[in-house]
């Protein structure tokens, strides 16, 4: 006796997109919904050594004799720091 096999199912396909109405951009936050850090406070080197791991990722900025480190962890939630070094405004973004 020969068993009958059902035909193979057709390959899956993705329907073509024929109009823009099938996709929408959804804005979760309004413009300026993530506030910047406008008055950053810094730890001393000794305090930072106790607070952060050696592998902590930072964005470093050095200008003349002044250096600062901005934590990537903190920037991941706030995204921008408006700061001033040697009287010059800077913006640090992530």
pTM of the model: 0.64
pLDDT at 33 (0 to 100):
84
pLDDT at 1 (0 to 100):
40
| Domain assignment present for 46 | yes
User: Which two structure tokens, joined as six digits, stand for 90?
Assistant: 């800077």
Would you say residue 37 has pLDDT above 80? yes
Q: How far is the C-alpha of 79 from the C-alpha of 92, rounded, in Å?
A: 8
- The model's confidence at residue 24, banded by pLDDT at 50, 70 and 90, is confident
pLDDT in tens, 42-86: 999 999 999 999 999 999 999 998 999 999 998 998 889 999 999
**Number of domains comprising the chain:** 1
Query: What's the Cα-to-Cα distance from 93 to each of 4, 15, 16, 35, 79, rounded to whole Å?
Result: 65, 40, 38, 12, 6
Would you say residue 9 has pLDDT above 60? no
Query: Could you list the residue range(s) of the whole structural domain that residue 89 is in?
Result: 32-93
| Domain assignment present for 88 | yes
Kindly tell me the number of DSSP H helices and DSSP E strands found in the chain: 2, 4
């Amino acid at each position: 006796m020969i068993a009958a096999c059902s035909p193979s199912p057709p390959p899956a396909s993705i329907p073509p997109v024929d109009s823009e109405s099938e996709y929408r951009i959804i804005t979760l936050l309004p413009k300026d919904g993530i506030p910047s850090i406008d008055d950053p406070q810094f730890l001393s080197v000794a305090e930072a050594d106790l607070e952060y791991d050696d592998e902590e990722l930072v964005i470093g900025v050095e200008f003349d004799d002044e250096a600062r480190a901005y934590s990537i962890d903190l920037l991941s939630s706030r995204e921008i720091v408006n700061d001033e070094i040697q009287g010059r405004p800077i913006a640090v973004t992530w």
